[in-house]
Amino acid sequence: MSKIFTTNQYLGYFVICMALNAAIFFKPFSVFFIPDAILLAYLIYKFKDLDQEVSPLFFLGAVLLFGYYLFSPEPSDLEYQNKFLVSLKPYLYICILALYSNNQPVKSLHGFIKGVVVFYPFLLVWNIVLYYIKHRPPLSRVVQESRPFFMFENNFEITFYISCFIALVFIYKDTSLKNYFYLSLVILLANSRSGLLSFAAISPFYFWALDGKKRWIAFGFAVLAAGYVGVSRNITQIAGNVDRLQTFNLMWQSYESSFAELLSFPFGHGIYVKVPTYLCEKLPEFAEWFVGNAANCDPLMLQAFYTRSLFQFGIYITLLIPIIFFLLIKKETGWKLAALIVAPVACVALSVGGFSNGLAFLGMLLCVYAYVQVSSAKQAPIHA
């Protein structure tokens, strides 16, 4: 498989990424729109090649998209509108995947994916250095306090990174221990519990791809990364220190902590209804952090995709969303690889946006396109 970039080009792009990270770190500016902007640019560019058979799941995604947009109950609070377009993004991504899953780029993605796997850990190290320069924490706590990132919340970046690792190892068959060392280093440096969960979900499949000696070395990397995150994030005391459990409990109380009450809203409350004020007031800082106003009880304050989806879409649609993504990806890659590709997003959805996040979706799409490219190259006729 040919690579896109030379070594000098890799280093040049890495220096540019270092400068960009420094600019964002010292003078923050809005970047949340960038993944969706990249996706939109690609869709427009490749629209001329749009000729694949449309999956029936496209119509299911479209029905859910327009159904919740048009028929959700009207909001009672007109002063602070919900950021409901974020809630609708999973259905839009489903439609895109149904239309574009076989519309891969012409150039190989191998070089880009390899570059992400190799260089991203060093960008995290660079960000830790910047954090130390700015805040001067004790060296023993600099990794724990910094929660390093490149451009976005590191939970999103880890999901994209793991998608690149999956493509490199399970599609391009590059099972080198160096790649797993880089992954373990990212998990350790990012110090993310949801990242650790995704790491645990895919690691056994990597171990099975190795021989005995390498398997034990890789297992040692995994133990070091998991041990550090487990101790520094105190995962033995999850119930008392995980804010996502607090917001889940908030949502659960809105149903009087009753599963029967939850089932009585089979399609949720819709995308416009607020979290009840008396519950929202219990965690006002969450609304301030995630919506920008403590008086706006937008369900986005619930943080985790599953928690918010249960409130807005109900239990049946919440369960259906990851299944639809799996089925669409399975159509191109087969069920084993599809399960691996969806797993990191399904794990991070316990913590953050998951299936409604553009960067996470780009990671899944990247894996699908890498697989289609490799499969097409194998099927192409060889001319003398």
User: Is residue 336 assigned to a domain?
Assistant: yes
pLDDT digits (tens, 9 = 90+) for 154-204: 899 999 999 999 999 999 999 999 999 999 999 999 998 889 999 999 999
pLDDT over threshold 60, residue 240:
no
Q: With bands split at pLDDT 50, 70 and 90, how would you rate the model's confidence at 384?
A: very low
| Amino acid residing at 61 | G
The reported pLDDT for the residue numbered 283 is: 79
pLDDT at 308 over 90: yes
**Is 246 within 8 Å of 279 (Cβ atoms)?**
no
**287, 280 in Cβ contact below 8 A?**
yes
Residue 57 in any domain: the answer is yes
Residue that is written with structure tokens 């649609």 in the block = 317
Q: Does the reported pTM lie above 0.85?
A: yes
The DSSP call for residue 272 is S
* Residue 135 resides in a domain: no
Establish if 233 belongs to a structural domain.
no
Number of domains in the chain: 1
Domain membership of residue 150 (yes or no) is no
pLDDT recorded at residue 190 = 94
- Cα angle 143, 146, 147 (rounded to 5 degrees) comes to 90
77-96 pLDDT, tens per residue? 667 788 889 999 999 999 99
The pLDDT of residue 381 is 53
Band (pLDDT 50/70/90 cuts) for residue 112 is very high
Q: Determine the length of the chain.
A: 384
Interval 328-379: pLDDT, tens: 999 999 999 999 999 999 999 998 889 999 999 999 999 999 999 999 887 7
Q: Where are the alpha helices (DSSP H) in the chain?
A: 7-26, 34-46, 57-71, 84-100, 110-135, 142-146, 154-166, 177-190, 193-208, 212-232, 238-241, 243-253, 259-263, 277-280, 284-291, 305-333, 335-348, 358-379
Q: How many CA atoms lie within 13 A of 17 on its CB side?
A: 21
For residues 4-40, one letter each, b for 16 or more C-beta atoms within 10 angstroms of the residue's C-beta and e for the rest, the string is eeeeeebeeebeebbeebeebbeeeeeeeeebbeebe
Taking 60 as the threshold, does the pLDDT of residue 383 lie above it? no
CA pair distance 13, 2, nearest whole angstrom: 18
> Is 209 inside a domain boundary?
no
Whether pLDDT at 237 is above 70: no
Give Cα 372 to chain centroid, integer Å: 21
Q: How confident is the model at residue 241 (pLDDT cuts 50, 70, 90)?
A: low
Please list, in sequence order, all residues whose beta carbon lies within 8 angstroms of the beta carbon of residue 95, skipping any fewer than 6 positions away.
58, 61, 62, 65
- Residue 367 domain-assigned? yes
List the domain range (segments joined by +) for residue 324: 53-101+242-376
| Assigned domain for 117 exists | no
